[in-house]
A and B are shown apart, each in its own frame.
Chain A
Amino acid sequence: MSDPTIDSPEITETLDLWVAGTEEPEFSPTDEGEQEISDHESEARLDEQFGRVVEDDYVFDDGVDEGERMILNMGPQHPSTHGVLRLQVELEGEIIRRTKPIIGYLHTGMEKTGEQLNFSQGGTNVTRMDYLAPFHNELAYSLAVERLLGIEVPPRAAAIRVLLTELNRCSSHLVALATNGMDIGAISMMIYGFREREQILGFFEKTTGLRMNHNFIRPGGVAADLAPGWKDDVAAILTELPRRLQQYDDLLKDNPIWIARTRGVGVISAEEAIAYGITGPALRAAGVAWDLRQAFPYSGIENYEFEVPVGEHGDVYDRYRVRIEEIHQSLRIVEQAMDSMPMGDYRVDDRKVTPPPRARIDESMEALIHHFKLFTEGFKVPPGETYVAVESPRGELGCYLVSNGEARPYRIHTRAPSFANLQGLPIAMADSLMADTVATIASMDPVMGDVDR
């Protein structure tokens, strides 16, 4: 990823002046307590700013005094389309000294709701957590339930899951690129990203019935088989998307404005990322080749050949490049899944988990009762606890599931990648300019549904 024109000494020297993290931070990054923003020394400043105290002391002074800091509140409602994130930044002139992300504005009590829904309804709940990658949420949850049940899904179900999750990765990264571009100013990226996404969402609607929040990947397999003619739809996506990705590269990759706004901005080094538990494209852009699909493979993904793109500098530009390359690699997996889709059942043939085929319900009383019991009471899962993680477009998405033998989970907890990635924001934004905030947040790609659950 090192480009000789960009990494020449003159340019890096100029950029070094305001590369984040080169100045010694005044606080230890691990000491969160010092980031408590409302401290008593600045109360007088706040009074002055709010107009409670008026002092007529106009002095013409261009410089920024040492120790003169302003606390600025960004959000929770602001135009950067990442949901309801609130940031309190302490500014010294234009330079950010400290940041505190305040979350909880989208807290939905999903973990509590998950305890009230039974195991087959749980998918409707988890799918709305990371709403840009709903299939990944459902997959983590279904894998956890299946591990507790001790069942294995048939190969066709596993392949359908891989197909859908990889297409979901493409659509999620398209939104990330669209909003990333729009926030920095390349407003056409917003239109381009959503235009491609419509194609993928059309396929999802044909297969699952919904554009988003599908509840299609369920414990035991998937809810229904692929629609007839699905190969043509997937082939259409596979021909269109790489052409359009070339369009994005034409717009952004060597664009001097884009490079000036993203190179050296929002840097997170590999050590910082590992210490803070940051995973996903942010970690890979910092140079660590860690991808759960290759480290702890799940759902038969080890049968497909793909590469894991890795960046170098850990800045916004590298995260953007990693996402573009990941779309290419996901399309590779989708093509292999399409070509080698095994025949067979789309869900496991276990009577305790799978309802009977709908045609049988008209014919047989036992089938009707079986269906009824499964959908009202739900199936009981043996007691146990497990943690399953998948590689979502944002990083490690895990589901910690505890069952005590009932038809409902005793405790369901989702390890949200955006929750951990947000802790990297103060690191990425330390000692950088206020204007780079938006680019940094956009590149970390937080989804607030995931963060707050």
Chain B
Amino acid sequence: MATTAPGNLMMTTVDKAARWARTRSMFPATFGLACCAIEMMATGAAHYDLARFGMEVFRASPRQADLMIVAGRVSQKMAPVLRQVFDQMPDPKWVISMGACASTGGMFNNYALVQGVDQVVPVDIYVPGCPPGPQSLLHGILTLHDKIMSGEINN
């Protein structure tokens, strides 16, 4: 409702407030698959704190999450599960594809992996690396926040 009515000053401020609220308390869903999951956990740990962005609560249930960080390689067997978890997330939702394997299949260009998780779910941010260090992941997350704040991503 707040995003579609044009020209009304009060609606625009509400829209901005909504976007601010969404970025400042984005809850990630636990979708750590492989090595990138360890770096994701390290990002949530004390040294590269995710809690300063309001994101340290990794919700186990997708129904309570906004952000799905696909951390790791997605195999053929896992792809339907990935899609199901994504479908269970309520709008607005965003997807960060973390790592080379999630973005493009990485170094494993073979029968077993889905070559890029964007074949299965729509992705907003790709974070390259094998695995991307916590700084890269944080850069990706903050970029997502900026894009939402500026209205570029309209979910």
Contact = CB atoms under 8 A, between A and B. Distances in A.
Do A and B share a direct contact in the complex (Cβ within 8 angstroms)?
Answer: yes
Contacts of A81: 30, 32, 37, 41
A213 B131 contact: yes
A77 interface: yes
6 contacts: A78-B30, A106-B78, A112-B110, A191-B45, A194-B46, A194-B47
Nearest to A121: B107
A81 B30 CA distance: 8
B35 interface: yes
A181 interface: no
Interface in B70-96: 72-73, 75-78, 81, 85
A105 B107 contact: no
B121 to A, nearest CB: 13
B38 A175 contact: yes
A175 B37 CA distance: 12
Contacts of B131: 211-213
Interface in B97-136: 107-108, 110-113, 130-131, 133
A98 to B, nearest CB: 22
A128 B38 CA distance: 12
A83 B34 contact: yes
Contacts of B60: 78-79
Given A84-B78, A106-B75, A107-B75, A195 B45 contact: yes
A78 B130 CA distance: 24
Interface residues of A, number: 35
B38 to A, nearest CB: 7
Interface in B1-59: 30-35, 37-39, 41-42, 45-47, 58
Given A107-B77, A109-B113, A83 B107 contact: no
A392 to B, nearest CB: 15
A104 interface: yes
A113 B3 CA distance: 48
Contact of A106 (B33, B41, B47, B130): B33
Given A194-B47, A195-B46, A198-B47, A76 B81 contact: yes
Most buried by B among A78, A105, A175, A448: A105
A83 B108 contact: no
A109 to B, nearest CB: 3
A106 B45 contact: no
Contacts of B77: 104-105, 107
A108 B38 contact: no
A212 B108 contact: no
B103 to A, nearest CB: 15
A246 B33 CA distance: 32
Given A194-B41, A198-B42, A77 B73 contact: no
A83 B42 contact: no
Nearest to A193: B45
B42 A109 contact: no
A191 B76 CA distance: 33
Given A79-B30, A109-B110, 14 more contacts: A78-B60, A81-B32, A83-B37, A104-B75, A105-B81, A106-B33, A106-B73, A106-B78, A107-B75, A107-B76, A110-B108, A131-B35, A213-B130, A452-B75
B72 A106 contact: yes
